Amino acid sequence: MNQTDTAEFTIPQQYTTDRRSPARWVISHALRQWWLLLIALAGALGNAGLMAVGQVQVGKAFNVVSAPVFDAKALWNIFFIIAAAGVARGLLQFSRNFGFEFIAQRIERNVRRELYASLLSKSMTFHNLQPVGDTMARATNDVREVNFLFSPGLNMVVGSLTFLIFPVITAPRYHPSLMLVPGIFIVLYFILLKIYMGGLAPITEEVREAFGSLNIRLAESLDGIDVGKGSAQEAREIHIFDKNVTRYKNAAIAQGRKEAKFLPLLLYSVALAGGLLHVMLLFRQGLVDLGGVIGYFGLLLMLDFPTFASLWAYSRISLGLAGARRILELMNRENNLDQNAAGFAQPLRGAVEFRNVTFRYGDGEPVLEDVSFKIEPGKTVAIVGQTGSGKTSLIRLVNRTYDVTAGQVLVDGRDVRDWNLENLRRSISIIEQDIFLFSRSIADNIAFGKPGATREEVIQAAKAAQAHEFITTFAEGYDTVIGERGVTLSGGQRQRLALARAFLTDPRILMLDDSTSAIDSATEDRIQRAIYAAARGRTTFIITHRLSQIRWADLILVVRGGKLAASGTHEELLQTSEAYRRIFSE
């Protein structure tokens, strides 16, 4: 892992990769499969070498059958050599294909793991700014293109390059000058190939970028399908999607147009004609016999494979490198949070203090400005304010979802940046209004933060969150698999499951971000009692507009325009804070 990529959590990698460029990164992955590379290279060289042997033997066979005295034994010997070479070529070609395909699949697996680990290591700032559709395109299609870079891409390229070598090596056995045509062909082939790849690279970059844009729009449209349908905007969405599809289509056509202008195809035809003319002139001069003409022309025909294979093999490599660049760009994206693995790691008591805290997203205007307050362990704090006043940002500074721009946030008297991040977050639980549930069983969702929890512990947590009753109404109870994001549940049911998940982990600091907004009045009283019971012994932050929850808080913070407008108990604030009174009058 590149040490300049500071990650929120350093998830162990299988091995170190060189992320300085796409080519270096791909090579660093490939070198870890060195033994497979040796098998593949041996297969490629052996296959090409035996192909040349076969062509030479065919030439010898023509000399045998055209000789004044027919030598049957010599012909049978040639037959057995060609047959043996053919069988060996089959095995060697299998080893080449097997080697590269095995490399491709192993590297795809390792790249997926490296990318997934990197994504899990990124901060919420990164994930808030990075479109999900683009991430999915890179994590699926671009990774697959890296696979194709090796097989069939590199497989065909290595195989074809070995077919360039042996015509040059073998031609002098007939006449030294016969090296000229295949030699010139190789030089011009690589010059034209360099020009071709230079023109192809930006086109394949556009293909991958267009696919990413297409995926972004698709993910957004599906995620917001209810908004689109509710606004009767299906036709408009189809039009926008069609523009993205057209961009991707045009990029693919441009790639096809570039491939159609592959000049080595013309070069190959000229080489065949020139080589045949050359060897026939030598034949007329008596410098080469008939078998030499046949054998040499067979060697020239070996140039067919590198010419036609490279037409699409190099496109696969170019697409693979474009995909690798997009993956690296994602993994190397700067991260502002550090896990501080060597940081303070002790059980939390729950004291929280803000000292002149200012926070802004990037270079924008301050979301919070010069906020200061102090909370003793085990106290309950209600945070109130108008929408957009910075309440949610405030609590997210405590667990370092974001880091302060200026000032300090302290937990138990220590700056949160001095804590081991994993230790800090395991002791803090946040329940938001927008609850995320996984497409797993109810029991698995509740136990997400404590995978080893027993069923009895899960049930007790559900009971504490007033969720047990509705769970038991399902046919499969706690084993009921819920839909993605909990779409099969009501808002109140989702929030009660989130409460159960928090209760099970027994956090020292509990944060409720308007987490009872979707709960009906009949259930609210029971959950209110559950929250009250859960708050005992732990520091609790509650973002809410419900007066019933605000009243029993030990401290109320009034946030207005990113600043702490007032603090105190409910009775004190009613007497002293106009901003507090205005919240309940609006």
CA distance 50 to 56: 10
**pLDDT value at position 581?**
79
1-18: b or e for each residue (b if 16 or more CB lie within 10 Å)? beeebebbbebeeeeebe
CA distance 163 to 52: 9
CA distance 166 to 183: 11
Minimum mean pLDDT among 102-111, 193-202, 299-308, 429-438: which range? 429-438
| Cα–Cα nearest to 177, from 288, 266, 272 | 288
**pLDDT value at position 363?**
76
Residue-wise pLDDT tens digits, 267-295: 888 999 999 999 999 999 999 999 999 99
- Indicate the SS3 state at residue 508: coil
**pLDDT value at position 437?**
84
Q: Which phi and psi angles does 357 have, rounded to 5°?
A: -80, 130
CA distance 91 to 47: 9
Minimum mean pLDDT among 34-48, 127-141, 166-180: which range? 127-141
Model confidence at 197, in pLDDT bands (50, 70, 90)? Answer: confident
**pLDDT value at position 5?**
43
For residues 140-161, average pLDDT: 90
Alpha helices (runs of H) in 68-142, residue ranges in sequence order: 72-121, 124-129, 132-137
**pLDDT value at position 3?**
38
> At residue 88, does pLDDT exceed 70?
yes
pTM assigned to the model: 0.70
Tell me which DSSP letter residue 159 carries. Answer: H
Q: Quote the mean pLDDT of the chain.
A: 85
CA distance 347 to 339: 17
Q: Which phi and psi angles does 321 have, rounded to 5°?
A: -70, -35
Q: Which phi and psi angles does 458 have, rounded to 5°?
A: -60, -45
Model confidence at 8, in pLDDT bands (50, 70, 90)? Answer: very low
Q: What residue type is assigned to position 361 of the chain?
A: Y
| DSSP code per residue over 336-392 | -----TTSB-------EEEEEEEEESTTS-EEEEEEEEEE-TT-EEEEEE-TTSSHH
First to last CA, the chain: 53
Minimum mean pLDDT among 71-85, 144-158, 420-434: which range? 420-434
CA distance 194 to 201: 11
Model confidence at 27, in pLDDT bands (50, 70, 90)? Answer: very high
| DSSP code per residue over 408-470 | EEEETTEEGGGB-HHHHHHTEEEE-SS----SSBHHHHHTTT-TT--HHHHHHHHHHTT-HHH
| Cα–Cα nearest to 471, from 441, 451, 448 | 441
CATH topology of domain 338-427+507-586: Rossmann fold (3.40.50)
How remote is the C-alpha of 400 from its chain's centroid?
Answer: 24
Q: Which of 63-72, 133-142, 272-281 has the highest mean pLDDT?
A: 272-281
| Cα–Cα nearest to 479, from 450, 440, 441, 453 | 441
Where in the chain is CATH 3.40.50.300? 338-427+507-586
**pLDDT value at position 430?**
84
Minimum mean pLDDT among 283-297, 359-373, 534-548, 559-573: which range? 534-548
**pLDDT value at position 71?**
81
For residues 36-65, average pLDDT: 90
Alpha carbons within 13 A on the beta-carbon side of 537: 5
Q: Enter the tokens of residue 435.
A: 């609850």
Residue with the larger pLDDT of the pair 362 and 87: 87
Q: What residue type is assigned to position 447 of the chain?
A: A
**pLDDT value at position 101?**
93
CA distance 467 to 486: 14
For residues 530-537, average pLDDT: 70
> At residue 10, does pLDDT exceed 60?
no
> At residue 530, does pLDDT exceed 70?
no
Residue-wise pLDDT tens digits, 311-368: 788 888 888 998 999 999 888 876 555 677 778 888 888 899 999 999 987 777 889 9
CATH topology of domain 22-331: ABC transporter transmembrane region fold (1.20.1560)
Where in the chain is CATH 1.20.1560.10? 22-331
> At residue 2, does pLDDT exceed 80?
no
Model confidence at 391, in pLDDT bands (50, 70, 90)? Answer: confident
Residue with the larger pLDDT of the pair 485 and 319: 319
Q: What residue type is assigned to position 395 of the chain?
A: I
CA distance 258 to 201: 11
For residues 96-125, average pLDDT: 87
CA distance 350 to 347: 9
| DSSP code per residue over 382-420 | EEEE-TTSSHHHHHHTTTTSS--SEEEEEETTEEGGGB-
CA distance 556 to 452: 37
Tell me which DSSP letter residue 154 carries. Answer: I
| Cα–Cα nearest to 381, from 495, 509, 500 | 509
Residue-wise pLDDT tens digits, 446-473: 988 888 889 999 999 888 888 898 899 9
Longest dimension (CA), the chain: 125
**pLDDT value at position 270?**
92
Model confidence at 130, in pLDDT bands (50, 70, 90)? Answer: confident
